Structure 1
């Protein structure tokens, strides 16, 4: 497997002009959907904005969120005050190869839009994950949907895929991890709108709610030692994973470490989901009291 149109993803491609044009056009679309067509409420927005604009030099940022529609990214970045028009600040995103890279035109568009193709079912050590690690090594911002697929049910956060945990462990610089939970995109772009299909355009007059958590920091040396200890008595079937150097983690220890990291992120996201529901209920209650 080769990296799909890697040349188009480079900042130097045509002096960065195509990337700037796409980022600005998509940013305008996101702003319109989030603020003109619909109403978007964001809690703790300053935390995200500050990390995007002024985190420590060379330190990468990974944002993780639930996935409720095909519009989550980029519209979730269209809220008021977010610097969505700056290509140098824009996120990199992991995007499904079978959806976003089906032909040359789509591949070029998503590549200059800072998307990295991921083969679903290709495993956490597929070639394109190395490209994501390179971007993290550059101190970039990477957004992921660790549940792995769209779910429009307002249900507990599902078990996370191990890909995000492997990126955290293997990143040249340990990234800042920021959990985000949102609701409302399932109404803006419902999966089963008309005969089991999505609407041709985003729906309007809906409420989008985004709750941004606090940065998560992982003590990887300590967690690695715990994973090694826990894995000594495990005898799971192997998949031929490489031994991670310099930590020397074998496959069993990697499984333990990835599970531990994923569970911490999942717990944080579920806490945000509960907070969002409480905020929504309080808002509804206050609205009812005002009407009375």
Structure 2
């Protein structure tokens, strides 16, 4: 347990760690890297950037922002924020992001690096009620911006959006203040950092002279009271809890109802993301 806590380094993620200087330095450096790769070394076109910028910079106080996107490469974050006009190097405005513990938190050096970069470790396959999901909820409670990749892992094929993991839906439902849910679809980062480049491995550095397209959607409308009422109607009065989930307070939804609720919300998000993908095909043709 101690070793695991050492690797996850919650203390390094705090804004007050060493007066915030290491975080500011890290995000400035990584943000500058993203700007160079996305805006200078490659050609990037963004649709509806103003909607993302507005919600990042000037949403109402205390209202969290939850962005969701497809996952095309290991460098989607931070590169997706490197387009012209985005405040990539502003540590205060920078997103929090769920990051795979087995990749980003392998050792103390990586853990410290990613913690300074406002990453929250998530154990893939650890379920939606794992410990660090509470940390993500705390950031939403603080009115912060959180980004997730609800597909759960990298998919580089040009294919329909896959069935989403339920973690993002659970965060939306359990957040003390319902976040603005903003969908993003992008193409091109799979060419900048292909999974199978040389002998089945990624290239040592991002590739250049690629075309990147980023499609920002509009906030997804989710009528949570109605969705929870519908989910409650699916509730099973049974004492057994196959997944061991707690009752969803204060809504009182049991395990069966939660599964229905998270599945419904996830499918709604997936449908919107797929519509952005379809729009992107037209957008790509006209912008190439």
Report TM bin, short chain: over 0.9
Question: Matched residues in 2 for 1:80 and 1:167: separation?
Answer: 30
Question: Does residue 96 in structure 1 map to residue 120 in structure 2?
Answer: no
TM-score by length of 2: 0.96
Match of 1:208, SS state, is strand
- Following superposition, the deviation at residue 181 of structure 1 comes to 0.3
What is the Cα deviation at residue 67 of structure 1? 0.3
| Structure 1 residues 133-185: Cα deviation after superposition (integer angstroms, max 9, x where no partner) | 00000000000000000000010000000000000000010000000000000
Residue 16 of structure 1 pairs with residue 20 of structure 2: yes
Cα offset, 1:236, TM superposition: 9.8
Match for residue 45 of structure 1? 49
1:35 to 35, 39, 64: 39
Task: Report the TM-score, using the length of structure 1 for normalisation.
Answer: 0.95
Matches within 5 A, 1:120-135: 120-135=124-139
Alignment correspondent of 2:148:
144
Q: Deviations over 1:1-21 (max 9, x none)?
A: 565100000000000000000
Are the counterparts in 2 of residues 234 and 252 from structure 1 also a CA contact under 8 Å? no
- How many angstroms does 1:217 deviate by? 3.0
Q: How many residues matched?
A: 284
2:231 maps to 1:266: no
CA contact 1:187–1:206 (8 Å) conserved in 2: yes
Question: What is the alpha-carbon distance in structure 2 between the residues aligned to residue 200 and residue 236 of structure 1?
Answer: 50
Offset from partner CA, 1:55-75 (integer Å, 9 cap, x none): 010000000000000110000
Of residues 74, 77, 85 in structure 2, which corresponds to 1:73? Answer: 77
The answer to whether the 8 Å contact 2:183/2:273 transfers is yes
The answer for the alignment partner of 1:230 in structure 2 is: 234
| Map of 2:283 onto structure 1 | 279
User: Aligned-pair distance for 1:219?
Assistant: 1.6
Specify the alignment match of 1:243 in structure 2: 247
TM superposition shift of 1:234:
9.9
Cα distance, 1:283 vs. partner? Answer: 3.4
Distance 2:182 2:235 in 1: 28
**Which 5+ residue runs of structure 1 have no aligned equivalent?**
285-292
Task: Give the 3-state SS of the residue equivalent to 2:60 in structure 1.
Answer: coil
SS of residue paired to 1:40: strand
Query: Residue 200 of structure 1 corresponds to which residue in structure 2?
Result: 204
RMSD in angstroms over aligned alpha carbons?
A: 1.5
Could you tell me which runs of 5 or more consecutive residues in structure 2 were left unpaired when the two chains were aligned.
Answer: none
- The structure 2 residue matched to 1:171, chosen from 169, 172, 175, is 175
Question: How far did 1:230 drift?
Answer: 2.8
Tell me the alpha carbon deviations over residues 242-288 of structure 1, each in whole angstroms, 9 at most, x when there is no partner. Answer: 0011100100000010011000000000000000001112335xxxx
Q: Match for residue 287 of structure 1?
A: none
Instruction: Report the secondary structure of 1:79's partner residue.
Output: coil
| Residues 239 and 278 of structure 1, relative CA distance in 2, 3 Å threshold | same
The one of 112, 130, 151 aligned to 1:108: 112
SS in 1 for 2:54: helix
**Cα separation, partners in 2 of 1:69 and 1:234, compared to 1, 3 Å:** farther
Q: Is the 8 A contact 2:71 2:154 kept in 1?
A: yes
Q: Aligned in 2, Cα 1:106/1:276: closer, same or farther, shift over 3 Å?
A: same
